[in-house]
Amino acid sequence: MKVQIKITSLALALVLLSCGNRDKFLFRNPAVAMEKRVNDLVSRLTLDEKVAQMASSAPEIKRLGITAFDWQNECLHGVGKLAEYKVTVYPQPIGMAATWDAASIYKMADFTAEEGRAVNRDASSKGKFGSYYGLTYWAPNINIFRDPRWGRGHETFGEDPYLTGVLGKSFVLGLQGDDPTYLKASACAKHFAVHSGPESLRHEFNTEVSTYDLWDTYLPAFRDLIVDAKATGVMCAYNAYGGRPCCGNDLLMMDILRNKWKFTGYVTSDCGAIDDFYKYHKTHSDTITAAVDAVLHGTDLDCLRDTVFKTLTKAVRTGLIDEKNIDIAVKRLFTIRFKLGLFDPASKVKYANIPLSVLESPEHKAHALKLAQQSIVLLKNESNTLPLKKNLKKVAVVGPNAASKMTLLGNYYGYPSEIVSVLDGIKAKLSPQTEVFYEKMTDYIALDSFIVENHNNELTYNGKSGFRMEYYDNQNFSGNAIISQENETDIIYRGETRFINGINSIAFSKRITTYFKPTETSILTLNIDTDKRFRLFVNDSVCIDALRGKAKAKGIYTRQFVKGKEYKIVVETTFKGRDGYFSFNIGKIKTPSLQEQAAKVKDADVIIFVGGISPSLEGEQNGVNCPGFEDGDRTTIGLPRIQTELMKELKKTGKPVVFVMMTGSAIAVEWENENIPAIVNAWYGGQSAGTAVADVLFGDYNPAGRLPVTFYKNDKDLPQFTNYAMEGRTYRYFKGEPLYPFGYGLSYTTFNYKNLVVRDNVSTSDSLVVSVQVSNTGQKDGEEVVQLYLTHLNGFSFLPLKSLKGFKRIFLKAGETKEVQLTVDNKNLATFNQLGQLIVKAGSVRVSVGGSQPGGKSKATGNCVEKDIEIKGLGNQIQF
């Protein structure tokens, strides 16, 4: 008994000492070297505590005064996910890539980190440490957009490794800040590596590419961000490479990332990727072997709520892994938290006191508009159709994206206070004397059926106008509703997790209940417009059931409603953490013909058709299965046929038609290119997209965006989607004639290039310095993107046809000339061999400089000047 009392007293004393002296722990002392502080903290943890910290939702450690920490956050194009904070939303990354402006992307990332810091400071002060409040952002996505059918390609910076690397570095440098001690925020390069669809196979797919393609295409941007920009995080991909899951891959994770590139930051799995080891890849027998192998290959964090990493405690105790391997991972994780200043007084951390007032600051909103303007690519402008005059009598604005606001936000978005649609932007641009006619006319893939004689105002619950809405923290409507609201009149779904208090799961459900007592007997239609799964009940009978399976029913149910009889209407919907839309109407439905639609605008001075596709159709694995789309990917690159058919009818009116296209990927618009006089590609342009489009259409901004991807003519131009070999892909290896080439974009002015100066001979150890004179030869001020390409004339037969190796976006007044200098360093003068070695070889190289890539349609944006030079000397291998 005496011994027991002594032990108990000692334990109590230690606990009291710990609680009373938390601030005296070595790891709490900012004057001590960060590495020593991390080592001290980890040495105080039990094995169970260490393993618990290796989950994306890391719990608090009360005895050491360490708060909970959630690693999962997004800032793809502005602070993402949290509806409770109004933040600035910039164009989707594919649109930002079309700016070809590294400085603008740096500023965007800097502003994003500023807003993220403000959110984190406010949330932390309220004890909120859950998902999307933290400072470890899982962005940017720098996978190479090798195939336009990949649904997540719009999250990337396009198809070119050099452009992706330059823009990605700017993103990382802007986000992480310039303080020598503390990070403004932590960036994470994803998805490592060789990852770009198909979405439906991403958990089980094994990629096989040559060593050359691996090093020439799939790794350079990662190397740029990890080695040069010092990104502090990496996310390993779902798929396997060479028969081994990426998160447990010897070559990728150990040989390249940790050993060759000396990466010391943290690696997180993509969410659920470690489970894929044994569930889908079948390379491991169970959870414990998967967890051990992932950690031994340098994966420090498992993104899942019910993580397989919890088996690591048993793995250590049974000798499957040494605890020192757990220590290595946990130290990497805590090092990031220390670098974010989370263990230091706010007074010492440069970024810790940023106030909420920075959210949507005028400077941030102005930059969102600037990026949207810079991103717009003018694809065609026959007979100077654009810019339009502002003194028109009637302007028709039609199409599925004309009034859409959610489309503009892309995916992984935040919530701005105001979103300007194209319709909004055009209305604001014109005088009140100009009539602006709007009608959707068609949906993305089918004619628009719309409700007339709307009876929504007759829907009630408990005798009052509106609906009852119940939200469940699961997808089965099980248990009690997390929240129940009555007499709601707005049932439009506006986002995902945390769009309403209490919904903490990315998989949740919603039940809408209302009653309808018609004042006369008539045949009416219940129209549910959604991209989510749903089920419709009338008087407790199932009328439409589309909650399960891939195919979703149309949300149209027509029946007779008898005067004076009360009908109970229930709609159940399920959500799985993806962007989308939902709305409900009751009335008489009408589906006019294409000819009827076109006849409505035959008296307009100009018809602006705002079409394309939507991030609800192309995106991360989303279950969508409809013509042209499958589970987030596209099954064809063609514009949905119904939109082309409508534009054919609009053209028959004899009025000029302007096609404003919104998309995150290349769309084949062969008919439109031949028949529509003006085509503008506006991507998913963020909160100010509508203003930017109107600025371009009416000449208040001269477009200068350039394509970061190749626009092919049709599906026949594409290799098999699952084939990752680069032969025949992207401008670098495609030998056909594209519809619009990579780097292409028109202007309202013209440019001329002359006096290309470059040394005739350089050695294999030199950099290449190139200068050229660029003149604005038109009548309008404008921007030009100067592009430099190299072609190795007698190099390896497998080398690219041409490769971008330099660019600069410049502004020139009408009649102005500037000399532009570009430098190609030794690394970019080199080429990979089949062993993955980067070598500067002796031989002839063609230097091409112009407003687009050499050949094809580049003359439309200005001439291209070229010079052949000789590289002399012995082959010089470059460390890569």
pLDDT digits (tens, 9 = 90+) for 647-695: 999 999 999 999 999 999 999 999 999 999 999 999 999 999 999 999 9
CB atoms within 10 A of CB 545: 14
pLDDT band, very low/low/confident/very high, at 797 (cuts 50, 70, 90): confident
Is residue 486 over pLDDT 60?
A: no
* 164-168, 209-213, 335-339, 454-458: the lowest-pLDDT one: 454-458
Closest CA to 425 of 644, 655, 660: 660
Tell me the C-alpha distance between 593 and 603, whole Å: 18
Clarify whether 270 is annotated catalytic: yes
Question: pLDDT value at position 504?
Answer: 55
Backbone dihedral angles phi then psi of residue 224, each to the nearest 5 degrees: -60, -45
DSSP state of 294: H
Q: Which two tokens stand for residue 171?
A: 């993103």
Question: pLDDT value at position 576?
Answer: 65
Asked if 626 and 677 count as a contact pair (C-beta separation under 8 A), the reply is no
Hey, is 237 helix, strand or coil? coil
Is residue 364 over pLDDT 60?
A: yes
Tell me the C-alpha distance between 792 and 843, whole Å: 8
Closest CA to 829 of 779, 769, 778: 769
Burial class of 647 by CB neighbour count within 10 A (0 to 12, 13 to 18, 19+): buried
Tell me the C-alpha distance between 295 and 283, whole Å: 15
Asked if 371 and 400 count as a contact pair (C-beta separation under 8 A), the reply is no
Is residue 204 over pLDDT 50?
A: yes
Is residue 503 over pLDDT 80?
A: no
pLDDT band, very low/low/confident/very high, at 428 (cuts 50, 70, 90): very high
Tell me the C-alpha distance between 851 and 541, whole Å: 62
Hey, is 15 helix, strand or coil? helix
Span 697-721, average pLDDT: 97
Q: Which residues contact 456 (CB under 8 A, 6 or more apart)?
A: 584, 585, 586, 587
Domains defined for the chain, CATH in brackets: 362-448+593-733 (3.40.50.1700), 458-589 (2.60.120.260), 751-878 (2.60.40.10)
Is residue 319 over pLDDT 50?
A: yes
Alpha-carbon dihedral 697, 701, 706, 710, rounded to 10 degrees: -10
Asked if 438 and 610 count as a contact pair (C-beta separation under 8 A), the reply is no
What's the one-letter identity of residue 113? A
Q: Among positive and negative, which fits the CA dihedral 573, 579, 584, 588?
A: negative
Is residue 15 over pLDDT 50?
A: no
User: 807 forms bridges with which residues in the sheet?
Assistant: 787
* 12-16, 180-184, 320-324, 662-666: the lowest-pLDDT one: 12-16
Is residue 527 over pLDDT 60?
A: yes
Percent of all residues in the chain with a pLDDT value above 70, rounded to a whole number: 92
Which residue in 300, 618, 766, 783 is the catalytic one? 618
Q: Which two tokens stand for residue 343?
A: 């263990």
| CA atoms within 13 A of residue 282's CA, in its CB half-sphere | 2
Tell me the C-alpha distance between 621 and 604, whole Å: 41
Question: pLDDT value at position 1?
Answer: 37
Question: pLDDT value at position 592?
Answer: 85
Question: pLDDT value at position 498?
Answer: 43
CB environment 314-327: b (16+ within 10 A), e (fewer): ebbeeebbeeebbb
Residue with the bigger pLDDT between 391 and 529: it is 391
- Three-point CA angle 499, 503, 504, nearest 5°: 110
Burial class of 283 by CB neighbour count within 10 A (0 to 12, 13 to 18, 19+): middle
pLDDT digits (tens, 9 = 90+) for 469-482: 888 878 788 887 76
pLDDT digits (tens, 9 = 90+) for 821-865: 999 999 999 999 999 999 999 999 999 999 999 986 555 677 899
Tell me the C-alpha distance between 738 and 740, whole Å: 5
Hey, is 250 helix, strand or coil? helix
Which residue in 110, 115, 199, 270 is the catalytic one? 270
DSSP state of 266: E
pLDDT band, very low/low/confident/very high, at 623 (cuts 50, 70, 90): confident
Question: pLDDT value at position 341?
Answer: 98
Alpha-carbon dihedral 267, 273, 274, 277, rounded to 10 degrees: -130
* 67-71, 149-153, 519-523: the lowest-pLDDT one: 519-523
Tell me the C-alpha distance between 544 and 526, whole Å: 11
**Token pair 């038109």 in the structure block, residue:** 778
Question: pLDDT value at position 487?
Answer: 54
Is residue 13 over pLDDT 70?
A: no
End-to-end CA distance of the chain: 66
Question: pLDDT value at position 253?
Answer: 98
Residue with the bigger pLDDT between 388 and 22: it is 388
Tell me the C-alpha distance between 812 and 777, whole Å: 10
pLDDT digits (tens, 9 = 90+) for 507-521: 678 888 999 999 999
Pairing mode, if any, of strands 233-236 and 188-192? parallel
Tell me the C-alpha distance between 279 and 281, whole Å: 6
pLDDT digits (tens, 9 = 90+) for 533-563: 789 999 999 998 887 654 456 678 899 999 9
Is residue 742 over pLDDT 50?
A: yes
Clarify whether 618 is annotated catalytic: yes
3-state secondary structure 62-120: HHHCECCEECCCCCECECCCCCCCECCCCCCHHHHHCCCCHHHHHHHHHHHHHHHHHHH
Question: pLDDT value at position 16?
Answer: 43
Tell me the C-alpha distance between 30 and 47, whole Å: 26
Is residue 131 over pLDDT 80?
A: yes
Mean pLDDT (the chain) is 91
pLDDT band, very low/low/confident/very high, at 300 (cuts 50, 70, 90): very high
* 52-66, 242-256, 592-606, 864-878: the lowest-pLDDT one: 864-878
Question: pLDDT value at position 9?
Answer: 42
DSSP assignment of 777-816 equals -SSS-EEEEEEEEEEETTS-TTS-S-EEEEEEEEEE-TT-
Tell me the C-alpha distance between 737 and 482, whole Å: 56
